């Protein structure tokens, strides 16, 4: 185990559905003091709320108990602390399931539960306050299915001070789990803003597990061992500096570029990253290779947090149905488009005859034609495509009529049609409603066994004033002849989502390449490149510490998450689309381009 001057934290779960083998790997080969498990997303809470309404013993991430159950004796013997937001909408039920597993293993565990994030019982007060959606300004919808505040790290740290071996929360900031362990170990205070920002960065880096050890890395061909990817370990010091590594002998790759991609993942403004305990400034963070598959991270700065929690509510907005068919032939694109148009037309006729209104939305994507992702920049027609149809309606019965019209196209439409996968069923459309709510109106408690203790949250005097962060100071570009290359020749990228906003980080492969990116990939240039997908404004933020730019594209995901009808509702493909953008570089730079780069250079 680590000595008292350091703390080793392992990231064991990134989402509900991550491999349970992460625990085994970190226990057997990781030598960690703390394991953190992240399971939640906005949609996940809606699913959990629905499960709890059907069965009072459900509503939490059951994978957590399955993952740690076989290792409880070893974890107890080693004194490994477990911190997880697996509680979801029913943290007490999660705690009871873990107690049952511990009793069966003959292990005594002191399990703490953090309560207070679920605001659904306070719906009347929220409604009376006239809250508005944080991005669109829309009024609060009726019939919310979930409403959870993102709690911070100090309640978890309070549970650790009370001797908890395991802390289970409902909704909290993803990074709060690791931050809480650091607060407890190093006795950080609410006003230690730089340390709290550094600890939040630890949590942010760990929360996506293998995504930070080489998973989804732009240069995927350089990453060995996908079949046994290493789970991340942060070895942390009292000043917030940490070294990211993974268990020896595991697959994956940890370099500054890999870590850079994760550092900016789904962070809107890196100079003003708002968390419950601190406002983070990551613009001056530096990353240094500290050994094979080891990167030292330092330089986070912090300011006072805001006096409000972010609250994510979800509500049901009708139903959706999606289906796919495959088309093969020289006119595959045209055949597929016509077939789906015909299915929609037939369904509309049947719906009208039955007294149903029209669709709320229809989305047809010809996957393989490049049109959904690249728009006007798509290459010529493909000879084999999968065409995806997704429709949205207020009533499930209407969508059942769509499902009934897919199979007949196998004999009424184009030759070369295949890929029938049975009649699909309508699914509820969950929409996100995010708003701010005063921390002073959210009582938070630590519950261990039947003892409940309220946690006092340090007040913030006023709203945090946005900081400017560090800015680039570029050297002039060399004069002379230029050549055109894809952006991927000089940069790596990572993209993700926040509601209906796509987040896109572009990191220069070498520091001097950042000046060129700044000059050519302006907000206007990116707005034009994504014109077929993004309907709102594009924002650009500078991150000179890691030679990067962070872009946020508004109204870019067709509603985002479960509300979107697109094949990519989470913006995962935006980075790959961006990396095809042409850039003009000095010809003198050509020898510096990575020889492993897989792309075409046009003069």
In a 13 Å sphere around the CA of 289, the CA atoms on its Cβ side amount to 9
Per-residue pLDDT of 382-397, as tens digits, reads 999 999 999 999 999 9
Average pLDDT on 44-52 reads 86
Which of 69, 146, 76 shows the shortest CA–CA distance to 110?
76
Q: How many CB atoms lie within 10 A of CB 479?
A: 8
Per the CB < 8 A criterion, the answer to whether 278 and 550 are in contact is no
End-to-end CA distance of the chain: 55
Q: How sure is the predictor about 596, in pLDDT bands with cuts at 50, 70 and 90? A: low
What is the C-alpha to C-alpha distance for residues 99 and 112, in angstroms, rounded to an integer? 11
pLDDT given at position 220: 97
Residue 389 to residue 395: CA distance in whole angstroms = 17
Cβ contacts of residue 211 below 8 Å, gap of 6+? 14, 262, 265
Q: Report yes or no: 216 and 258 within 8 Å, Cβ to Cβ.
A: no
Query: Kindly report the CA angle at 549 between 221 and 242, in degrees rounded to 5?
Result: 70
pLDDT interval class at 45 (50, 70, 90):
confident
pLDDT of residue 160: 98
Question: In the numeric block, which tokens belong to residue 176?
Answer: 């709060």
pLDDT at position 53 over 90: no
Half-sphere exposure of 507 (CA within 13 A, CB side): 25
Handedness of CA 461, 277, 464, 193 (dihedral sign): positive
Per-residue DSSP letter, 591 = G
Please report the beta strands in 260-334, taking only residues with DSSP state E, as ranges in sequence order. Answer: 273-274, 279-281, 286-291, 294-298, 301-303, 308-328
Those residues with Cβ within 8 angstroms of residue 574's Cβ, 6 or more apart along the chain or in another chain: 495, 502, 504, 530, 533, 553, 556
Which pairing describes strands 308-328 and 451-455: parallel, antiparallel, or unpaired?
unpaired
- Of 180, 182, 185, nearest to 168 (Cα)? 180
pLDDT in tens, 339-354: 999 999 999 999 999 9
Q: How many CA atoms lie within 13 A of 292 on its CB side?
A: 6
Q: What is the CA radius of gyration of the chain?
A: 25
551: nearest Cα among 531, 570, 524, 532 = 524
Q: How confident is the model at residue 500 (pLDDT cuts 50, 70, 90)?
A: very high
Count of other CB atoms within 10 angstroms of residue 67: 24
CB 314 within 8 A of CB 42: yes
Phi, psi at 19, each rounded to 5°: -65, 135
Q: How far apart are CA 523 and CA 541, in angstroms?
A: 10
Contact 177, 159 (CB under 8 A): no
User: Over the stretch 114-166, which tens digit does the pLDDT of each residue have?
Assistant: 999 999 999 999 999 999 999 889 999 998 989 999 999 999 999 999 999 99
Give backbone dihedrals phi and psi of 376, rounded to 5 degrees, phi first: -65, -15
| Residue 405 CB neighbours (<10 A) | 19
CA distance linking residue 561 with residue 576, whole number of Å: 19
Look at the block and give the residue holding tokens 């149905």.
Answer: 321
Residue 539 has pLDDT above 50, yes or no: yes
HSE-CB of 128 using CA atoms within 13 angstroms: 4
Which structure tokens are listed for 375? Answer: 């728009």
pLDDT digits (tens, 9 = 90+) for 550-570: 999 999 999 998 899 999 999
| pLDDT over 50 at 97, yes or no | yes
Nearest to 387 by CA among 440, 431, 334, 437: 334
CA 559-565-568 angle, to 5 degrees, is 85
**Cα distance between residue 522 and residue 536, in whole Å:** 15
DSSP output for 209-258: GGGGTTTT-SSGGG---GGGBPPPEEEEETTS-EEEE--TT-B----HHH
For residues 295-306, average pLDDT: 97
Select the CATH number that applies to the domain covering 313-431 from these four: 3.30.450, 3.30.70, 3.30.1370, 3.40.50.
3.30.70
> Is the pLDDT score of 1 beyond 50?
no
Report the distance separating Cα 158 and Cα 97, nearest Å: 23
Could you give the CA distance from residue 472 to residue 371 in angstroms, rounded to a whole number? 35
């Amino acid at each position: 185990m680590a000595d008292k001057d350091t703390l080793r934290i392992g990231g064991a779960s990134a989402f509900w559905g991550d491999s349970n083998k992460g625990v085994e790997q970190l226990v057997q080969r990781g030598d960690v003091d703390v394991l953190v498990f992240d399971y939640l997303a906005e949609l996940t809470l809606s699913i959990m709320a629905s499960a709890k309404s059907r069965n009072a013993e459900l509503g939490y991430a059951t994978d957590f108990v399955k993952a740690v159950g076989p290792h409880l004796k070893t974890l107890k013997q080693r004194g490994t602390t477990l911190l997880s937001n697996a509680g979801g909408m029913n943290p007490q039920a999660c705690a009871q399931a873990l107690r049952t597993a511990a009793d069966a293993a003959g292990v005594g565990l002191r399990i703490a539960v953090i309560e207070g994030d679920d605001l659904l019982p306070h719906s009347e007060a929220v409604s009376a306050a006239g809250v508005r959606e944080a991005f669109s300004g829309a009024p609060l919808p009726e019939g919310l299915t979930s409403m959870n505040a993102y709690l911070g790290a100090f309640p978890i740290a309070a549970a650790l001070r009370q001797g908890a071996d395991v802390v289970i929360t409902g909704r909290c900031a993803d990074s709060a789990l690791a931050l809480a362990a650091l607060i407890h170990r190093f006795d950080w205070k609410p006003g230690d803003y730089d340390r709290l920002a550094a600890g939040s960065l630890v949590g942010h880096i760990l929360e996506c597990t293998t995504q930070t050890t080489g998973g989804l890395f732009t240069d995927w061909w350089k990453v060995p061992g996908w079949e046994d990817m290493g789970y991340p370990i942060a070895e942390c010091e009292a000043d917030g500096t940490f070294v990211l590594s993974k268990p020896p002998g595991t697959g994956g790759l940890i370099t500054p570029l890999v870590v850079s991609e994760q550092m900016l993942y789904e962070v809107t403004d890196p100079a003003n990253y708002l968390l419950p305990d601190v406002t983070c400034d990551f613009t001056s963070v530096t990353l240094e290779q500290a050994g094979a598959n080891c990167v030292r991270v330092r330089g986070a700065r912090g300011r006072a947090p805001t006096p409000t929690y972010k609250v994510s509510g979800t509500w049901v907005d009708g139903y959706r149905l999606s289906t796919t068919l495959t088309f093969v032939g020289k006119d595959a694109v045209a055949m597929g488009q016509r077939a789906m148009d015909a299915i929609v037309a037939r369904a509309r006729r049947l719906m009208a005859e039955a007294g149903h209104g029209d669709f709320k939305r229809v989305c047809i994507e010809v996957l393989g034609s490049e049109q959904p992702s690249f728009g006007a920049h798509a290459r010529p027609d493909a000879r084999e495509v999968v065409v995806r149809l997704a429709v949205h309606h207020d009533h499930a019965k209407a969508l059942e009529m769509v499902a009934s019209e897919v199979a007949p196209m196998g004999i009424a439409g184009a030759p070369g049609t295949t890929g029938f996968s049975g009649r699909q069923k309508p699914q509820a459309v969950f929409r996100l409603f995010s708003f701010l709510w005063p921390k002073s109106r959210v009582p938070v408690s630590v519950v261990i066994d039947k003892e409940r203790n309220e946690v006092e949250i340090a007040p913030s005097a006023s709203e945090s004033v946005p900081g400017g962060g560090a800015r680039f100071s570029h050297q002039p570009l060399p004069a002379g002849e230029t050549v055109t290359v894809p952006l991927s020749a000089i940069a790596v990228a990572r993209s993700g989502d926040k509601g209906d906003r796509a987040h896109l980080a572009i990191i220069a492969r070498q520091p001097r390449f950042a000046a060129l990116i700044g000059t050519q990939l302006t907000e206007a240039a990116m707005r034009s490149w994504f014109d077929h997908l993004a309907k709102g404004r594009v924002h650009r933020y500078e991150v000179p510490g890691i030679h990067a730019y962070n872009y946020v594209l508004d109204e870019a995901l067709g509603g985002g998450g479960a509300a979107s009808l697109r094949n990519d509702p989470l913006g995962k493909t935006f980075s790959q689309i961006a990396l095809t953008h042409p850039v003009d570089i000095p010809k003198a730079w050509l020898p510096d381009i990575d020889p492993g780069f897989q792309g075409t250079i046009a003069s």
